[in-house]
């Protein structure tokens, strides 16, 4: 029931998403926080560092990971929480020992301005999106590119991997309906594009797989700068439900709490709690904001 968020005020906040109560606030970054991870509780920042925190520990970070030369924009924790992969606008991806804070290896690729990282469950692979419009799969053991997916027409803003490790979804920048899509990729033998989800009118900033529920087909959720969150049928690309968050401005990121609950971070009005409900048809409703 924890929600971790970071902002331009340089702080990281931990809230209970059911009640909206703030459980802790952490301030040690020198610049805006760009990414957070609830697993072992990490934060990345424009101050070029990553920090690890304990909710009920000391007020300061329990570990620091300095070394990037520009803003850190990607953050992924290994399934056993022993390794951390980070990416930056400095064109590098780095692997760290979580316990010691040591940088174990570093890989640099020209024009690889990282936008997001996520770990493939049960595998040594990390998926990465970039401003060079490319999605890459890294083998974290030697930090080498294991596969590069076919290039897209727009910046790839975010990615997520399904719980079974079979699929990846990436989201795209765009404007006036050009681009703005999410793309499903097969991570198995073919590693090809499966389908696209089109309907947003501005940059699609975030995409997540929804956990399987008893009444829901395999589904994907997206959030966009057009102030809308959409839920899609993973296999048919049909839009199942849409929520328009009036006045919220661009919607920056999504997190799935369970099969029917989403958290959506907005530029103007905090974090919204959205609930999928079955009436005559599937509806996505805002139930709280904090």
3-state DSSP assignment of residue 237: coil
Closest C-alpha to 93, from 123, 134, 39, 121: 134
Q: How far apart are CA 66 and CA 75, in angstroms?
A: 13
Q: How far apart are CA 33 and CA 110, in angstroms?
A: 25
Low-confidence stretches of the chain (pLDDT < 50) are: none
Closest C-alpha to 252, from 239, 237, 268, 241: 268
pTM of the model: 0.92
Give residue 21's Cα distance to chain centre.
Answer: 23
Q: What is the pLDDT of residue 215?
A: 65
Q: Residue 31 has what DSSP assignment?
A: S
How do the domains of the chain map onto residue ranges? 152-289
- 152-289: CATH topology: Methylamine Dehydrogenase; Chain H (2.130.10)
Tokens (6 digits) for 285: 């409703």
Condensed to tens digits (0 to 9), the pLDDT of residues 201-225 reads 999 999 999 998 776 799 999 999 9
For the chain, what is the radius of gyration of the CA atoms? 18
Q: Residue 111 has what DSSP assignment?
A: T
Q: What is the pLDDT of residue 18?
A: 87
Quickly list DSSP for 112-137.
--EEEEEEPTTSSEEEEEETTS-EEE
H or E segment to which residue 178 belongs: strand 178-179
Q: What is the pLDDT of residue 39?
A: 67
The b/e string for 87-97 (b: 16+ C-beta within 10 A; e otherwise) is: bbbbbbbbbbe
Tokens (6 digits) for 89: 């606008």
Q: How far apart are CA 261 and CA 110, in angstroms?
A: 39
Closest C-alpha to 167, from 192, 204, 148: 192
């Amino acid at each position: 029931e924890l929600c971790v968020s970071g902002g331009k005020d340089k702080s990281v906040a931990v809230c209970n998403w059911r009640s909206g109560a703030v459980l802790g606030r952490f301030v040690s970054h020198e610049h805006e926080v760009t990414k957070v991870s609830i697993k072992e509780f990490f934060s990345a920042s424009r101050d070029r560092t990553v920090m690890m925190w304990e909710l009920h520990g000391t007020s300061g970070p329990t570990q620091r990971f300095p070394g990037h030369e520009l803003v850190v924009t990607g953050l992924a924790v290994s399934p056993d929480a022993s390794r951390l992969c980070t990416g930056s606008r400095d064109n590098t991806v780095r692997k760290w020992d979580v316990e010691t804070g040591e940088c174990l290896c570093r890989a640099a690729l020209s024009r690889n301005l990282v936008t997001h990282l996520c770990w493939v469950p049960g595998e040594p692979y990390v998926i990465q999106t970039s401003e060079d419009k490319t999605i890459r799969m890294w083998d974290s053991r030697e930090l080498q590119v294991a596969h590069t997916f076919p290039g897209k027409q727009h910046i790839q803003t975010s990615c997520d991997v399904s719980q079974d490790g079979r699929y990846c979804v990436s989201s795209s920048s765009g404007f006036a309906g050009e681009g703005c899509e999410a793309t499903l990729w097969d991570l198995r033998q073919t590693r090809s594009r499966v389908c696209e989800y089109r309907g947003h009118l501005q940059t699609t900033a975030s995409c997540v797989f929804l956990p399987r529920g008893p009444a829901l087909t395999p589904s994907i959720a997206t959030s966009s700068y057009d102030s809308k969150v959409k839920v899609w049928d993973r296999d048919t690309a049909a839009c199942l439900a849409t929520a328009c968050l009036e006045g919220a401005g661009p919607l920056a990121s999504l997190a799935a709490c369970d099969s029917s609950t989403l958290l959506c971070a907005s530029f103007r009005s905090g974090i919204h709690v959205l609930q999928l409900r079955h009436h005559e048809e599937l509806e996505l409703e805002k139930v709280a904001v904090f």
